[in-house]
Amino acid sequence: MFPSFNIQSPEVAIEADLQKKIDFKTKPAGSLGQLEALALQLGKIQNTLTPNVSKPQMIVFAADHGVVAQGVSLFPQEVTPQMVMNFLMGGAAVSVFCKQHNVPLRVVDTGVAADLEAHPLLGQRKVAFASKDFSIEAAMSAEESLSALQAGLDEADLAIDAGKNLLMFGEMGIGNTCVSSCMMSALLGISPEDSAGRGTGLDQEGVSHKAQVIKSSLERAEQETGQAVADWTAETLAQQVGGFEILAIAGAMLRSAERNTAFVVDGFICSVALLFAEKVNPNVLSFAVFSHQSNEQAHKHLLSQFKAQPLLSLELRLGEGSGGILAYPLINSACVFINEMASFESAGVSDAK
């Protein structure tokens, strides 16, 4: 059984004062667009008129997936540990962008199908050497699903205890777009044809095959559980078709929200993690900052589901947290303008009539 989470909605008592402060900056009302809404959100989450995201942390969770055996990815499974090492050595996209913006990077092994050497940036929280092939059996046991969620809880606690005031999450795991699409179909009741996308670059035939694998996997799971997908609990869904790194991200999101810390949602896979976290506790959504709309066909549907307006739309579909770190300067700018921009009164500028 998953733990319960005491997530309180962001403080509304301060909203009027935050809005007044935003409106009386030296600009026409609303002219900074989404940055104004973001400043308001961050101020409410932190319960302050001076929100601050100067101590961010990027956490990339990595795991492998048994369903890769069904040919749902162009890349072989050994790419997962190879890319983890690339992250640690500073050669991946998220690595160089984190370096560019002075954001510390941590990579967490929740289920990579290889032994990884110790490294200062590597968190060792391996649940198992990959999930099982959910097209033929449940992806994980109840104990494994709880351990994966707990990995995220512990990582969020570690960061927040160290003084981090904005958490960003990324993922790495060959086959995890297939897992995410399957979880999305189960959570929203949409067809695999609508949830499956190109992932690492599949052609249309490959996407169709992925959708068929998802369809047969959900049918297998319904038979095994004796329950329709729509009746599954979060625990059942995680065990049947989940992924270790996706559950860990969901856990980190839930703990961040419980501890009144904003977190940045990357692309499709991280959005599915948020969708799962919402099933566990709907209040988690108020703490999410949506970084970008990815080029995965189902991500637009997910953003609509959340009623979210992401900060960027760059046709990204890399994952890793790459969209999250690219959005960080804008998130920081929302704090800079509310904290440092002059008001009409302080600048001696006439206000609108």
155, 171, 258, 320: the active-site residue = 320
What's the maximum distance between 2 C-alpha atoms anywhere in the chain?
71
Tokens of 222: 């319904």
Tokens of 163: 């003084």
Q: What are φ and ψ of residue 290, in 5° steps?
A: -90, 115
Distance CA 93, CA 209 (A): 29
Distance CA 90, CA 195 (A): 32
Angle between helices 176-188 and 297-306 (to 10 degrees): 40
Q: Which is it for strands 105-111 and 288-290: parallel, antiparallel or unpaired? A: unpaired
Distance CA 24, CA 135 (A): 57
Q: Is 320 an annotated catalytic residue? A: yes
Angle between helices 244-258 and 268-280 (to 10 degrees): 60
Distance CA 116, CA 113 (A): 9
Beta strands in the chain (DSSP E): 56-63, 105-111, 122-124, 166-172, 263-265, 288-290
Which residues does the annotation mark as catalytic? 320
